[in-house]
A and B are shown apart, each in its own frame.
Chain A
Amino acid sequence: MNANERDILLDVKNLHTHFISGHGKTKVTVKAVNGVSFQVKNGETFGLVGESGCGKTTLGRTIIRLYNPSSGEVTFGGRIISGKKDAELQKFLTSNIAMVFQDPIASLNPRMTVQEIIAEGLKIKGIKDEATVRNMVGEALYRVGLLPEHATRYPHEFSGGQRQRIGIARALIVEPTMVIADEPISALDVSIQAQVINVLNDLKRDMGLTILFIAHDLSVVKYFSDTIGVMYKGRMVEMGDADKVYHNPLHPYTKSLISSIPLPNPHGERRRVRVSYDPSAYNIDDERLEMRHVEEGHSILCTPDEYEKYVLMANRG
């Protein structure tokens, strides 16, 4: 990509996260993230999609260092964050990257008030003056569409959508440069999903946040993101501008993913042709596989032989 070096906020290079279980003969290595490279520009929303178990959550958690990478390099704002995790790096991470989790019930401590939950990040950051903290919490609540008086309540008093907004307020209070949103809307009802998406959209616009948005619902990702990356079995199979990936998918897996989204259009649904993906026809462990550029802002994981076919397809579309 010919983006300006300075524009790039997060740069992931050939990242691997492997989980090892057992010893000796029973040793099993799960390659959850298996060589993923991508870049996220400042102020951009990067949507990461894929089925469950494809490694998208692991990737997000490796970036924020909840997991340690097996190999590869992650640079954030010019600083390598995949190295040894010491107290200083930890501090750098917590004050620059925040995370919103999937399940708003499980991710909020039921015995803490909203005030305590949201202010926890500030405490770690060293802001302890009570009045300041209260003001900041009130402001954060206001930003996500809640009221400052909600601060004294407990999580169980809120509905699902409100809880998720508390989760977002908690992420925002440290004024991070980037937010990793790990399926923030999957556990919510359709009407409530729209509330949360709108809150995230407003924040993105007002605060210039960079968001790594992880989800399995492609239609929401398409609506929300500037760039989409499609993951399959621990690898990035297709990546590019949201419109290009959505309207002109090249990789057979992306095609099947897009063709299986149910759309609220009854006649359209009836005449729609579903593409199914046959994993046995493509060897995902092929050593010649490499992310290749097929057109401006659109790249795909392929072997050199397939490459020409894809370039033709891209230009035709």
Chain B
Amino acid sequence: MSKNNPILQVKDLTVSFNAFAGKVQAVRGVSFDLNKGETLCIVGESGSGKSVTNKAIMGILSKNAVIDRGEILYDGMDLTKLTEEQFCQIRGKRIAMVFQDPLSALNPIMKVGKQITETLCVHQKLSHEQAKKRALELMAAVGIPEPEKRFDQYPFQFSGGMRQRIVIVIALACNPEILICDEPTTALDVTIQSKILDLIKEIKQERNLSVIFITHNMGVVANMADRICVMYAGKIVEFGTCDDIFYHPAHPYTWALLSAMPDSESRERLFSIPGAPPNMLMPPKGDAFAPRNHYALDIDFKEEPPFFKLSDTHYAATWLLHPYAPRVEMPEELKRRIDRMVEEDMEYECK
């Protein structure tokens, strides 16, 4: 996939849940690498398996989840085979996570100071004074005003953006190598969202963190990503660098995702994906996206498409890229939008 040495490798990960009605196949063979110091964005609609993949990496899958196949390689270890005790040495210390809803991620009856120093005391064996000193430094670093006063307050006394900053402080407390952000800004307002995104970018730069960023907002992706994985129905359907995905999208699902969001110039009717995602109790045969796809070929309903290589960094799993497939162009509206983007870039360079 890439010549850089990956810090985390996910290989053919398959996760299913034992439910009352049967086996829900949430993740069906996902493989990706995370390189040192890069931000990998995972996009897809709800239920596409992006959160489950990352919970598997963090080792926080619920009890009825089973990892059927695959491995997660980190620092010479396969995370899927670790015991809970071994995992405790990694979770929170070397791989940390920022959750979607900062209010439910924090303990409401525990002072935030305690919640931050907890990890420091456990993992780094710091004394309470040392831990407090470190916590105050971190709180100042993420832009929380008056950290001394805030240290002794409860989560409800914080605004949404400040709460998310606390969650980020907790995640950063032990200097992790990998930070997983699971929709960290979905619950926040746009103005606060942009501040939190800037903050994550800043700390990533400072600490040379590797970040996995999960979101369904293509605008946020454009803002954050170095590389992008697009997931649908438990599989990666397209992956590539940020430019690959935004300027040369190849999978119909990526087209749909990109054109579903109005940009500053759109006037036309928005493209909406018809139907609903498939029931993962019985994943459909062939390409899971085929029933909702305008461009589906007969073979899409029969056989699963393999990854076709578009460039060294860009791969997509769709039969449309097969040499025998009819040539299909991306939707007009999306093409116009990409042209507009290219034009803007040219204008900017001329300046």
Contacts and interface: CB of A to CB of B under 8 A. Distances in A.
Interface string B209-228: 00000001111111101000
Nearest to B218: A264
A266 B264 contact: no
B332 interface: no
Interface in A240-290: 246-247, 256-257, 259-269, 271, 274, 276-277
Contact of A264 (B45, B160, B194, B261): B261
Which secondary structure dominates where chain B touches chain A? Answer: helix
B102 to A, nearest CB: 14
B222 A262 contact: yes
Contacts of B257: 190-191
Interface residues of B, number: 44
B279 to A, nearest CB: 11
Nearest to B340: A265
Given A268-B341, A268-B344, A218 B190 contact: yes
B330 interface: no
Interface string B161-201: 00000000000000000000000000001111111011000
Given A263-B219, A264-B222, A201 B348 contact: no
Contact of B263 (A190, A219, A247, A266): A219
A293 B264 CA distance: 25
Interface stretch (B28-36, B118-126, B265-273): B265-273
A257 B235 CA distance: 35
B193 A260 contact: yes
Interface string A217-229: 1111011000000
Nearest to B348: A271
B179 to A, nearest CB: 19
Interface residues of A, number: 42
B190 A197 contact: no
Contact of A222 (B192, B243, B246, B262): B262
A189 B220 contact: no
Nearest to A260: B194
Interface in B3-29: none
A315 B168 CA distance: 44
B97 interface: no
Nearest to A267: B345
22 contacts: A52-B189, A160-B46, A162-B276, A189-B45, A190-B45, A190-B261, A191-B45, A191-B260, A198-B272, A216-B189, A219-B262, A222-B264, A223-B270, A262-B193, A262-B220, A263-B264, A264-B222, A265-B222, A266-B223, A267-B348, A268-B341, A268-B344
Listed from nearest, the 3 A-B pairs whose CB atoms lie closest are A262-B219, A260-B194, A194-B272
Interface of A: 51-52, 159-162, 189-195, 197-198, 201, 216-220, 222-223, 246-247, 256-257, 259-269, 271, 274, 276-277
